[in-house]
Amino acid sequence: MQYINNPQEIEERSFEIITEELGDHVFPETIAPMVKRIIHTTADFEYADLLEILNGGYESGMEALKQGKKIYADTRMIQVAVNKKALADHGIEIVNYVHDDDVAKEAKERGVTRSTVSMEKALKDDSVGIFAIGNAPTALYTLIEKVKIGAAKPALIIGAPIGFVGAAESKQALDQIDSPIIRINGRKGGSPVVAAILNAMLYQLGREW
Amino acid sequence: MQYINNPQEIEERSFEIITEELGDHVFPETIAPMVKRIIHTTADFEYADLLEILNGGYESGMEALKQGKKIYADTRMIQVAVNKKALADHGIEIVNYVHDDDVAKEAKERGVTRSTVSMEKALKDDSVGIFAIGNAPTALYTLIEKVKIGAAKPALIIGAPIGFVGAAESKQALDQIDSPIIRINGRKGGSPVVAAILNAMLYQLGREW
C-alpha cells in the first residue's frame, strides 16, 4: 500500500486542502490559521461559521501568552492536546484541578459539578490569564458570574463547551460581559477545538518572536 | 443565572434530547448507546451515518474487554478520555507508546511517523486485544499490513483516524482484512470519538455483569 508517511508532509498537504475547500473567507491574516487548525482537528468546515472573536480576544490572549501567563483548562484532554514544546518554549503552564481530591470532595458535598469547584480554585490564582473551557457549561457560568461582580478579569476566555444541555446558552451568556473572548457558537466545540485554538496562537507567537 | 448544575441530570437530559432528535434508526439495542454517546461527544448527528461495524466487531470487542485484554490507543487524548473507573473495575489497561523516547528516536532515524513505530511496538505484545486508532492513518496502515501477512490477529480494530490526508483511505483499506472492526467512514473521527466508542462498550459491560 502506498501512502504519505512523513508527518510534516501530511500536515502541509492537509492545510493546502483545507485552504482550497474553505475558499474565500472574511478572516484576517492572524485568525485564518486558527480557523484552518480547528478544521484540521475536526474535519468539519462548519466551524468557520461558528468561531467568533469578541472584545479583542485574539490580541489580549496573545499578550497573555507573551507574558507567560498560565492557562486554565477545564479538561485533561486539552492539557494533553496542546503542544508541549510550544508551551515549554514560552514558559507557559496549563493547569486543571478537576481531578484533585479536594475538588471532588467539595463538589460532592455541595451537589455541584467538579468543574464549578475547579474553576473557583483557578480564579484564586492571579497568574492564570487564559480560561479555556471545552466541556463544562457550569465552569463557564461560574466564570461569567465572577467577572460580573468584578472578582475576575481574564485576559482571554475561550468559550467552547460542547453539548446539548446548557452549552450553547452558556456561550451566549458571554454577551453579558466585556472580557476578551474567543468562542464557538451553538452546540459544537469541545476539548480538541480548544486545543486547536491554543495551538494556533502558540504557533503564531513562535512566528512573532 | 439559572442552569442545571447536577452532572447526572445533565447527562440524562442530553441523552433524551439526542434520542428525540435521532428519531427512527436501524441500530440494534447494543449499538444504539454507542451511536448516542458519539453524538453526545461531538454534537454532530452525521456520525449516525458514518459509524460502521464489520465482522462482529462489537461482540468480539466486548469479549476482549471481559477477558481484561489491553487496549492500544494511538493518542494520549484517548487514554485520558476513557473512563478510568470503568477500566479499573474490569482490570483493563490502555497503552500508548507514541511519546516513548525509543519510539521517537527510531521514527526519526527511519523517517516514518512515531505512530507507525509505536504500533509496531504494540503488535509485539500478545496481551493487547483492541487497537483503537483516532489519529494516525499510518498506524492503521501498519496494522492492516501486519494482519494481511498473519502477524497480528486483533480482537477489535477501532478505525477512526480523522483528517484530510489518508484518513478516509486508511479506513477504506480495512475492507482488505476480515478482522472485527468498528469504523468511522470518511474524514471524520478522532480521539474523542474513539473514547466515546470505548466508553459505550465499557458501560455496556458493566450492565452485562
Residue A202 lies in a domain: yes
Closest CA to B194 of B96, B120, B91, B68: B96
CA distance A115 to A121: 10
Q: Is residue B39 part of a domain?
A: no
Domain that holds residue B145: 52-208
Does residue B13 sit within a domain?
A: no
Name the DSSP class of A176: G
| Chain A contacts in chain B segment 132-171 (CB below 8 A) | 137-138, 141, 144-145, 162-167, 169-170
**Residue A48, phi-psi category: left (phi > 0), alpha (psi -120 to 50), beta (remainder):** alpha
Strand residue runs (E) in A74-167: 94-95, 128-133, 156-159
Give CA–CA dist A135/B199, Å, rounded. Answer: 17
Task: Report if residue A38 sits inside a domain.
Answer: no
Does B5 fall in a domain?
no
Q: How many domains would you assign to chain A?
A: 1
CATH of the domain at B74: 3.40.50.10230
Q: Is residue A21 part of a domain?
A: no
Mutate to test the interface with A, among B2, B10, B78 (most CBs of A within 10 A): B10
Query: At B122, which helix (H) or strand (E)?
Result: helix B114-123
Are A74 and A190 in contact, with CB atoms under 8 Å apart?
A: no
Chain A CB contacts of B175 below 8 Å: none
* A4, A173, A187 member nearest B165 (Cβ): A4
Please answer whether residues B196 and B37 qualify as being in contact, where contact means their C-beta atoms are separated by less than 8 angstroms.
yes
**DSSP 8-state assignment for residue A149:** T
* Cβ–Cβ contact B2 with A under 8 A: no
The tens digit of pLDDT for each residue in B150-180 reads 999 999 999 999 999 999 999 999 999 999 9
pLDDT tens-digit map of A64-120:
999 999 999 999 999 999 999 999 999 999 999 988 999 999 999 998 888 889 999
Strands A70-73 and A128-133: parallel
DSSP-assigned letter for residue B45: T
Q: Which residues of B touch A77 (CB under 8 A)?
A: 77, 80-81, 191-192
Q: Which DSSP helix (H) or strand (E) runs through A119? A: helix A114-123
**Does A169 map to a domain?**
yes
**Does the residue A16 lie in any domain?**
no
pLDDT in the model for residue B209 = 47
pLDDT of A57: 98
Q: What is the ipTM of this complex?
A: 0.90
Å between B45 CA and nearest CA of chain A = 11
d(CA B198, CA A131): 29
**B91 vs B10: CA distance, rounded Å:** 28
Contact check, Cβ <8 Å, B3/A138: yes
Q: What is the pLDDT of residue A209?
A: 47
Rounded to an integer, the average pLDDT of B86-93 is 95
pLDDT tens digits for range B32-44? 999 999 999 999 9
CB B50 within 8 A of CB B188: yes
CB A18 within 8 A of CB A39: yes
d(Cα B56, Cα A209) in Å, to the nearest integer? Answer: 53
Mean pLDDT (chain A, rounded): 94
A14 min Cα distance to partner chain B (Å): 5
Residues 19-58 of B with CB under 8 A from A: 40-44
Chain A residues whose CB is inside 8 A of the B81 CB are 77, 191
